[in-house]
A and B are shown apart, each in its own frame.
Chain A
Amino acid sequence: MVNEVRALLREAAQTSPQDETDLSAVLAGGRRRVRRRRLVVVGAVAAVAAAGTAVAVVAPGGTDPDRVAEHRVPRPDGPVLRLSDAGRAVAGRDYERVAAFTNKNLVWKNGRTFDGVTEDGQILIVELANDITNQARLALRDPATGRDDWLPDIAPQLRPRPISLGRDRLVFSVDEGLDVPLRTLVLDRATRTWSQRTWPGLPSSESYATATGPDGRLYVGVRASAGSPPPGGWPTGPDGEAEDAGGEGDTYDLWSVSLTDSSDVRDEGLRVGSFDFTDTALVWSAATNGTNDRIHVRDLATGAEHDFDPRSGKRCNLLGFSATGDRIVLGQYCGTYDDGRDDRVQVLTTQGRTVTTLQGDSIDGGLADGGTGGGGHLVAVQAWSGAEEGTYVYDLATDRFLRLTDSVSTYSVGGPTPAGELLVGTAYGEGKAQDPDPGMDLGSTQTLIRWAS
């Protein structure tokens, strides 16, 4: 018997008893709250002062030093950078704006977004229709002239996600859901023709991970195992969220396929967590989306391998993974404590030395450039809340850490870019996270930045 989630949910909610929601109570409650909110502004000053006092008492050890040690964000091994260590990026000195686009109504209409930049500097624009067809149209914009070159139509219902944006061809994965064969959509830029490709010899998977190798092949992770929640579900963290730090990770079997030959499928005979390529090495973790205690590096020329413990915290779930040159960048969530979330972006050498860990509350980051053509060196960090909200850039080439914006978009839009360029999203419209009653952003402004290294 087959049971479909959507149908079961609709059935379950169909037979509702009489709704006794009292709208007069809603109105009365609403009126009270409008009045109270005006008082909160005055009360907030006292609340901040009280919190400061409490910290001063507890921080030196208090009556239960073990509890303080256990429930406060721990310091990672090695050098640490915090958002407050960042200088201010200055336009004209540290970077230049190449192009910008504001979608003013992402919340209701899909519309256009920048989805990446090609190797020859053209901006990929994707326009999604706001109707049942969900038809996508793609264009390449020349940032010098602002002219859009609309590409031939693709089949309806396909949502292409860029994998590589080369001078000769654009390669996209096509989202079709779970347990379906991997499919790519390729545009030959010379002939302006689309082709679709699947690989009958590649195992189906609930989810795939992909990376383009220096040999031009597409490397595909086929899910081998998925971490499970502990018996009885995840516990609740101090913030009331399900606390899944220190979770069991997922693994993938590594395969590779030719982008031009559907019969060319190769089992690489390797079980990995996350994986990525530098110009000369394949780098992989033992597990992903959970704790990971091993990173492996294989020299592509000689086949020589070495591995090391990245010494990430014991509770750190590996969420982001990229490698470039002799650097590896790990995005991690390491738990929630009484004094906030422990989010980290750890930068290591391929020999296993931690260069720095960017640590903060509600931050998320990873390598932001080089997705087109390789050679990236810019780690973008988004900070989501409070006065530190914004996008920050850590330059692997110079170790400079600078704050680029004071706003982040609630929408994850963007795509691969050449080395030295990054797409940065800022909020358009209301909905800043620190608002007492936040709404969502109406839209997003995307800016293509060229970094001065």
Chain B
Amino acid sequence: MRDEETFVAFAQGARERLRRTAYLMCGDWDRASDHVQEGLIRVYVAWPRLEKAGREHAYARKAVVSAVLDAARRRSSRELVVETGPDRPAAGDLAETVTARAALLAALAELPARQRACVVLRYFEDLSVADTAAALGCSQGTVKSQTARALDRLRSLFEDSPLGELTVAGGTSW
């Protein structure tokens, strides 16, 4: 028999943080909830061995990130990986966005899903390069190059707007 009580307690405690991460990756709170639901189902499936190994939180984050990327993956191969939700301002003309926060969301929407995931995991979740690589199932070199490209793009979008410079406090720690 599965220990559903401990799973539910874990899910209740973890879901809000997971939803924020998913939101930053997909730009829409409703879709973020869907991604968290899918991620938590994956956690449920793996729960017995996760609980035993004490890896619930890291696995849940990986599962939700994977659910977001899977959703992007189901798109046509001809389509650009740009997911713009109703919570985001239109991407492109940052000069018209009201706040730097909204501008960042718009700029994130222009990035490929995997680059967006790197930015969110590194700078919202504050994961190390190694942990980000583990969460995304790729090499640390890929995380570094994807993050660098993402930051380049974000910076250039800010530079072209009246909002000023975009910085990373404390550097990137690699």
The residue in chain A whose Cβ has the minimal distance to the Cβ of B22 is: A13
Our pick among B7, B59, B75, B140 for the contact of A236 (Cβ within 8 Å) is B75
**Measured CA separation A10–B2 after assembly (Å):** 35
Residues from 149 to 181 in A contacting B, C-beta threshold 8 Å: 159, 175-178, 180
| Size band of the interface chain A makes with B | 35 or more
Binding site secondary structure of chain B: helix
A to B CB contacts below 8 Å, 23 in the list:
A3-B100, A3-B164, A3-B165, A5-B154, A12-B24, A13-B21, A27-B4, A29-B44, A31-B44, A33-B41, A34-B45, A106-B130, A207-B148, A226-B149, A232-B110, A233-B81, A233-B111, A236-B79, A240-B69, A412-B141, A439-B50, A442-B53, A442-B55
Q: Are B20 and A13 in contact (CB under 8 A)?
A: yes
Which residues of A are in contact with B by a Cβ distance under 8 Å? 1-13, 16-17, 19-23, 25-27, 29-31, 33-34, 37, 106-108, 159, 175-178, 180, 206-207, 226, 228-229, 232-242, 244, 289, 319, 364, 410-412, 429-430, 433, 437-442
Contact between A242 and B114, CB atoms less than 8 A apart: yes
Which residues from A are CB-within-8-Å of B114? 241-242
Note all chain B residues with C-beta closer than 8 A to A233. Answer: 80-82, 110-112
Instruction: Identify the interface centre among B41, B82, B145: most chain A CB within 10 Å of its CB.
Output: B41
With known contacts A37-B45, A178-B171, A440–B165 Cβ distance under 8 A = no
Q: In angstroms, how far is the closest chain A Cβ from the Cβ of B81?
A: 5
9 A-B pairs besides A26-B11, A30-B47, A178-B168 with CB distance below 8 A are: A8-B101, A12-B104, A23-B40, A34-B44, A236-B80, A236-B112, A242-B81, A364-B139, A440-B62
Residues of B within 8 A of A239 (CB): 73
Measured CA separation A21–B14 after assembly (Å):
12
A26-B37 contact given A16-B16, A106-B130, A228-B152, CB 8 Å threshold:
yes
Given contacts A5-B123, A26-B37, A242-B115, contact A19 B15 (CB under 8 A): yes
Residues of A near B120 (CB, < 8 A) are 9
Q: Which residues of A contact B24 (CB under 8 A)?
A: 9, 12-13
Which residue of the partner chain, among A5, A16, A23, A180, contacts B119 with CB atoms under 8 Å? A5
User: Top 5 A-B pairs ranked by shortest CB distance?
Assistant: A177-B171, A240-B73, A30-B44, A242-B112, A1-B164
